[in-house]
Amino acid sequence: MFAKLQPTLDLLVKRLNQGKMPYIVSIAGLLLTTLWVYLSPRSLPAFLVFLAMAGLIYYFKIEPKVKLVIGLVVAFIVIPIIGARNIFYLEVLFQISVFAALALGLNIVVGFTGLLNLGYVAFYAVGAYLWAFFGSQQIFLLHEIPGTAPPGTPFLLPGDMFYLFILLGIIVAAVTGLLLGLPVLRVRGDYLAIVTLGFGEVIRQLANNLDKPLNFTNGPQGITPVQRPTLPAELINVVNRILTPIVGQPVSEGQFYNILFYIIALLVAVLVIVVTLRLDDSKIGRAWTAIREDEVAAVAMGIPAVKMKLAAFAVGASFAGAMGVLMAASRTFVSPESFNFMQSIGVLSMVILGGIGSIPGVVLGAAVVVVLNLQVLQGLSLYLAQLRQSDAVIPIINFAWKDLSNQLDPAKYQRLLFGLILILMMIYRPAGLIPAERRKRELKEAGENNGNGDNGENNDAEVAHE
């Protein structure tokens, strides 16, 4: 069936991508979906279709300048407006941006250089705790018991230092990456994965336990309040005068903060994408690929393997550091539990889902996982909660929904999601949803060389040691 469908689909895509068609389709599509989201601000499908439409523009044959303009309009005008009508959309987009940057950072280490890092979230923690420590009252609480801040404790730095600390977060996380990389890069392959896992856990445990002898991190309670950058009241008033009639209600200060953090996260994410794209095409990027494919050969070709691996660790870590600072400020709270092993695997599953080494793939992976996490799983939770309150009964087995255990909360089943993504992708589509260009070429060549003989049953006795 799919064989027949494929040519028709190809033809359709070709038609859509000729002449003026892509312009009309994308702009009309965007307008329609925007209208849909605007009119039904609580509708999940509307938002997903809108996101997909915005993402599809990337694939249309449109002049780059026009694409850029469309992108800017969508990102800075359309989304803040629909986000002000339903603040949850901004949260989704904020998280997509944050995790896209994290996944791109991990992608440099795992995808480009081929080093499996299972403790990536440690760098994120470093960034978050950096701003949490300096951007809160913590420095005056070093001798206090966690959770007992005397009233009137001053803040060390003004909230606007946050912007500076994004830069500092990049530097500090990169240095942490170097410090970790120096000893760790002696080990390879699966041992490296375990060492980095251990490192990630050590950082989390330190955050958990450094509330004595000096109270640096407040222990398991976490640090709060962490300052946010200030938003001048005049600015809010001016923007509100324009926004209120469009949004339909006055936009509150909290919502302005959501918009602000969404925009900062988006800017950082775009910067990260540009940096990653440039790196991939650079000499460094090719050196990373060479190391991934065959380290011995790469060294023989004169590539300084240790330096390049350290660079990969540092660059990957720096993205996470910046996003950590951002996360600490937007949540005004950090605690060790946000940086557990599951988070590292979550980011890994984004990279694997999208396509190892593929930049658009990784961004897509981050978007899909965040949407699944925030919208689908939580949507299921809400739906189950409704079912529990209703008198509905599962027909055949005669099971009343209200007898369903309260412990069953799909929103908490992220591990199931990550686990399934990892297993299924590894077995059925190891190159990811959007395979990296280079990898695609390799697969194609391999397919041409082997014909279709390789697809048969593998002889189990035949062991391919790398």
Partner 1 sequence: MRQIYESPVLRELLRPLGQIAVFVTTTGAIFSLAMLLLGLLLRGSAADQLLQQQNNLNIFAFTLTNLPQVLVDGITLGFVYAAIALGYTMVYGVLEFINFAHSEIFAIGAFVGVEILIALEGAGQLSNIPIWLAYVFLILAVLAGMAAAGGMAMLVEATAYRPLRNAPRLVPLISAIGVSFFLQDAIRFTESITTGQFHRIIPTFGNFDQRVSLVKLPLAGVVTDINIQIKSIVVIVAAVLMLVGLNYLVNATKVGKAIRAVAQDQPTASLMGINVNLIISLTFLVGGSLGGAAGVLYALKFTRIDPFVGFFPGIKAFTAAVLGGIGNLTGALLGGIVLGMLESFAGAYLSAFTMGAAGAEYKDIIAFAILILVLIFRPSGLLGEQVGQKA
Which residues contact partner 1 by CB under 8 A?
Answer: 114, 116, 118, 183-184, 186-191, 193-195, 197-199, 201-202, 205-206, 208-209, 212-213, 295, 341-342, 345, 348-349, 352, 404-408, 413, 415-416, 418-423, 426-427, 430, 458, 460-466
Count of CA atoms in the C-beta half-sphere (13 A) of 454: 9
3-state secondary structure of 400: strand
Q: Which amino acid is at 284?
A: I
Tell me which DSSP letter residue 223 carries: B
Residue 287 beta carbon to partner 1: minimum distance, rounded to whole angstroms: 16
* H or E stretch covering 394: strand 393-394
CB of 61 to partner 1, least distance (A): 35
- Tokens at residue 239, please? 């923007």
User: How many CA atoms are closer than 13 Å to the CA of 375, on its beta-carbon side?
Assistant: 22
Nearer to partner 1, 398 or 458 (CB): 458
User: Does residue 421 contact residue 356 with C-beta atoms inside 8 Å?
Assistant: no
Minimum CB distance to partner 1, residue 123 (Å)? 16
Residue 86 to residue 281: CA distance in whole angstroms: 39
Sign of the Cα pseudo-torsion (53, 58, 64, 65, in order): positive
Q: Is 174:182 a contact under the CB 8 Å cutoff? A: no
**Comparison of 26 and 208: residue with beta carbon closer to partner 1:** 208
CB nearer to partner 1: pick between 431 and 434: 431
* Sequence-distant (≥ 6) Cβ neighbours of residue 277 within 8 angstroms: 359
* Smallest separation, CB 14 to partner 1 (Å): 35
Write the CB contacts of 406 (distance below 8 Å, at least 6 apart in sequence).
388
| Closest distance to partner 1 from the beta carbon of 394 (Å) | 12
Phi, psi dihedral angles at 17 (to 5 degrees): -105, 20
Beta bridge partners of 16: none
Length of the chain (residues): 466
Q: Name the token pair of 67.
A: 């694409």
237 to 75, 244, 261, 368: CA distances (angstroms): 21, 10, 18, 36
Q: Closest distance between partner 1 and the C-beta of residue 378, in Å?
A: 16
Residue 399: DSSP 8-state: E
Whichever of 197 and 434 has its CB closer to partner 1, that residue is 197
Closest CB to partner 1 among residues 39, 420: 420
| Nearest approach, Cβ of residue 323 and partner 1 (Å) | 22
Nearer Cβ to partner 1, position 27 or 417? 417
For the bound state, the minimum distance from the C-beta of residue 377 to partner 1, rounded and expressed in Å, comes to 11
Minimum CB–partner distance for residue 104 and partner 1 (Å): 18
Structural contact between residues 350 and 369, judged by C-beta atoms closer than 8 angstroms = yes
Q: Which is nearer to partner 1, 236 or 305 (CB)?
A: 305
Pick 158 or 198: Cβ nearer partner 1: 198
Closest distance between partner 1 and the C-beta of residue 207, in Å?
Answer: 11
CA dihedral 266, 238, 255, 373 (to 10 degrees): -30
**Residue 8 CB neighbours (<10 A):** 9
Closest CB to partner 1 among residues 242, 296 = 296
Closest to partner 1 by CB, 258 vs 358, is 358
* 53 touches 33 (CB < 8 A): yes
Distance CA 71, CA 55 (A): 10
